[in-house]
Amino acid sequence: MEIKKKTILFIRDILISIAVVGVILASLWAYTGQFPNSPMVVVTSESMMHENAPFGKIGTIDPGDLVLVKSINGKDDVETRGPKDNPTAKHRTYGDYGDVIIYIPDKNKDGKRDRNATPIIHRAICWVEKNEDGTYTIKEYGIQNATSITIDELGLHNYKPPHSGFITKGDNNNECDQCGLSTPVKPSWIIGKARGEIPWFGLIKLMIFGNDGGYDGPDSVRIGRAVAPKDEWICLGLSLFVIIVIPTAWDIYNFYKRRKSEEFRL
């Protein structure tokens, strides 16, 4: 009877765990609208890092962060930053103004997203409109019907994009993506916009799959195939200690305590 009771309790614990995971996933999918795709992505590079980020780099996007990806319904769902010294957006996300988007780039420069390309997670800076007469308009920078685009802070000089779309840039990059990574980002290329994060825990995945070249700062530490700032590894280790080691040690303590109590009664 005792073995049967323990088996029932074991099965119950498994079912409860599965139910909890199911509820969490259902909530994430309901919020992000990404079902059946993953509602989260793992950040691999340093392109969105900020020098003034606090210890552990909470609130910014860094290697090893798990970022929630909320789907969009079109161009108007994305709020652009505009000029760095005079942002047009009113809300801040991840250390700067405007929305951070996750998109599939057009690395072939043919006006179509490259389905085999790794998604990029960068900030939406502005929207460039290619007019019917071939000129360009960018409201955020006060550009109207220009024959080419020059924006020094983005590294664009006499730029003539083939179509309309978002100009995007990593917060830690000197130039925008349209200087080489992709043509302007069409709304249909956008997987979603970043909303919330679980810091550090993506490093567990990167330890297996790697992010070589993802971070090369002076405080970089490599564990397995993952490279990230030292403070992120410290925070991950402390988090795992609290989540795994302490509860496990408590269970072991209670087990031996019960065993000693039973031996004493015998």
| Number of domains the chain is built from | 2
**Is 114's pLDDT higher than 90?**
no
Q: What domain range includes position 106?
A: 33-237
Burial grade of 31 (CB within 10 A; 0-12, 13-18, 19 or more): middle
Segment 65-86 mean pLDDT? 96
Q: Is the pLDDT of residue 1 over 60?
A: no
Average pLDDT on 164-191 reads 96
User: Which single residue is written with the structure tokens 């990167």?
Assistant: 206
- Runs of H (alpha helix) within the chain: 2-32, 203-209, 230-240, 246-265
Tens digits of per-residue pLDDT, 41-56? 999 999 999 998 999 9
**8-27 b/e with 16+ CB inside 10 Å = b?**
eeeeeeeeeeeeeeeeeeee
Mean pLDDT over 99-117 rounds to 90
15 and 99 both lie in a single domain: no
pLDDT at 246 over 90: no
pTM of this prediction exceeds 0.85: yes
**Same-domain pairing of 60 and 7:** no
Same domain, 119 and 232: yes
Do 224 and 95 lie in one domain? The reply is: yes
Tell whether 158 is covered by a domain: yes
Q: What percent of the chain has pLDDT over 90?
A: 69
Question: Are 21 and 61 members of one domain?
Answer: no
Q: Is residue 140 part of a domain?
A: yes
Per-residue pLDDT, 213 = 81
* Domain match, 18 and 44 both: no
Q: Within this chain, do residues 160 and 193 fall inside the same structural domain, yes or no?
A: yes
CA distances from 37 to 28, 29, 32, 191, 202 (A): 11, 9, 10, 10, 17
Beta partners for 149?
A: 159
* pLDDT tens-digit series, residues 142-158: 999 999 999 999 999 99
- Residue that has been written with the tokens 């302007």 in this structure: 184
> 196-241 pLDDT, tens per residue?
999 999 999 999 999 988 899 999 999 999 999 999 999 999 999 9
How far is Cα 56 from Cα 235, in angstroms, rounded to an integer? Answer: 6
Residue 261 lies in a domain: no
Cis peptide before 119 (omega within 30 of 0): no
The answer to the question of residue 256 being in a domain is no
For CA atoms 231, 235, 241, 242, the dihedral sign is positive
